[in-house]
Structure 1
Amino acid sequence: MWSVRGVCETSYPGDDAVCDHHGQRLSLFCLDDLLPVCCECVPVHTHDGHRVYPVEEAVKDCRGELETLISLLQQGVLKCAVIKHTSESVFHHIQGQAEQTEKQIKEEFEKLHLFLREEEEARRAALREEEEEKRERMKEKCSEVEEMMEFISDTMTQIERGLELDDVDFQEMYQDTVKRIWKCQTKPEKFLGSLIDLPEHVGNLRFKVWEKMLEEASHSSVTLDSNTASASLTVSPGLNRVLYSPMQCPSLPNVPERFHPYSSVLGSELILSGRRSWIVDVTDSTNWTLGVAEVSIKRKETYEACPEAGLWTISLRDDQYYAMTSPCERLDLGELRPRRIGMCVDWESGSVCFTDSDCDTHLYTFSQTFSKPLLPYFESICSEKPMILLQNRVSVIIQEEEVAGDDKDNYNHTKVLHLNGN
């Protein structure tokens, strides 16, 4: 057997290299063991059945193979350099994302803090106003009572003096005295609601403030995932607007989830069951594609926007509306030019329905049995107007349900959030 040292020393033997076992010239090369052998080595058990060929050809082939490997390794180095550059870009982008997101969170919470401070001050001012009003009314009431007490005291003094008068004088003062006594018997008017209205100020206080806060809040059924946005798209900080720009942003890292070359972006809400609906404002946008896509949609390759590629969309191209089937189907909308496109996905029934939400006009419906998770899909090459995801106002309705048991006065209060479409 060849030792490791022997293999290294005889991998490319010269004319005088001979076999240690048979003394024959090493004129052959065993492909299975990658060792030079002599003619006597081939028939023996060690190399029996192995593939062998002349050593001169083997050396030539091995040199060529190593040259090919060097080329592959060089390509590997280049790929590693690209990955390293992308990783460094992602590293710096993450830092920028974190700083921007932290700033945005701080601004949003500052708005909430400002709202709470203003609400607190308004409620404290209302309390002070009620306090001043009721204290003033109590002062007036106290003054009235003091005047009544003084009047009664004077009347009592007059009666005591009148009792000591003779009959003639007594009769003269009697009539006036009786009238004064009748006036004294008039009781001071009771002041209903004289105390601070505590239920008005602190009853369900947190809920009332929260309910009022909802008037300032809005909710989006779908938000954009800016990490998937093509470098030619600009997504707003609120993740509800997207605008196409012919000049691509060079600072965005080319991560796997980002679309290229298409100017597309996905929503962040995964659709796996139930119904999900949203509305997109496309007013004055001249080139767009809207719908849903399978989560596994290709991000770095070209594809046909059709159900076979995992896309269920409608599109506006060259002032014509299309359902992106295979082949695409032109939609005859007449004079209708939808400004707000409503989309509704029903996972169980396998439908994707598009409507003009302003006039509730049906545009197109795809019917499909879904097998993979879906995500909202947006594409635009219009640089003049953005596509806008419309938000909903939130309202609260409290439903009362009677609690089972002997106490019929007990009710279970259920708070139900309702999203009111714009």
Structure 2
Amino acid sequence: MPDIVAPGPHAIIPGQDFVPVVLGGDRLGYSLARSFHMAYGYRTLIVSRMVAGPIAHSTLVEHRPIASLEDPELLVRTLRDLAPKVGSDKRLLLATTDHVVSVLARVKHQLEDLYVIPYSEPELIDRLTRKENFADLCRELDIPHPQTVVYDVSDHGSDSAAQQLEGLTFPVIAKPSNAEAYAGVDFTGKQKVHSASSRQELDDLLTRLQGSGYTDKFILQDVIPGDDQNMRVLTCYVSKQGEVKFACFGRVLLEEHAPDTRGFPAAIMTGVDHEAVAAATRLLEHVGWRGWANFDMKYDPRTGETVFFELNPRLGGTSFYITAAGHNVVEWYVNEWVKGRSLEGRPVVETMDEHVFSAVPIRLLKRYVTDPATKQKLNGLIKAGEVTNPWFYGAEKHPKRWQWIAMNQVNYVRKYRRYYPEPKALV
């Protein structure tokens, strides 16, 4: 049983040995809250702009509003004001998006007297989350990575920029190098990741992008053949000593296809890829990473390799796939950063068991899993009860919470019917 502490006179969450404080009320925010509740029976304080669907009517969270998580001065002021009211002098501070992680890392020296903040230094985060730097690092360490062109959007329309595009083979994937700068602009057809099937289509995208005020780099990459079922995800935990101590590999069964969430994994089957884990370990230990890191990857049927796309400086939005498989992600944070238990000398844990994480209805998922071997394995895991939906949690008691969950599942069916009616491979 956890230690119980006496509550302050106006504690937001009294009676806990520590309080998780999460910046972001999105799907990862809820996943973290559920993981803390599963591991310790603890509730989580969510700080976000509004109470959005993922955390609405949840008994697992308390909420406090903030006008913007991206404003460094406001963030520091809000968190310093909240600290004495939280309910414990141990406060674990986490963020749910790359942008907010970067902001938090840059101001953590102003908050570390009040919060435990388990992130790498801001310079390292900024370096590795810029996709051209990640590509260079993969080349240096001989890690499979797609052919990449780093395109300066501010130079779009010039002769030198046009020459950069001459050698491209279409289709290509196009995505921002600077996620923070990209989050601050808007334009018609904006997506997390774009694809262009022709030079004209790419030119149109880059023109709209330039017109939005985005002046940083955009990454243009070779398309790896195959549909969602070739996507892979890998999540690793690195100790304070700089050693990878945990790795969980997953095969994506289905991604989301609505414009605002395109590319997010909707269903993941845990599995094993020792070569991918070895490559990720080599990279993370080489740069001196700390805490969690999440890699987006894809299996290339032309070479048989798992190709690395990018690194996210945090747990992924669908990282509950790890907790669902029996390895609660927050225990790594708590044991090392809150309880001060050293991981030095402990063996590396690499998940081996197969389990299915699915945010969408199983009937919908089965429609899109077309690979015969994968379908057979999926059906076997369903029969064995090895399936978890991150939203279905018995500790939630509020009727309106379950109404939201029901509508969430119905809306998934509607979205796939509209945006991805049939399985379709990238070629």
Q: TM-score, normalised by structure 2?
A: 0.23
Q: RCO (CA 8 Å, sep 6+): is it higher in 1 or 2?
A: 2
TM-score (norm: length of structure 1): 0.23
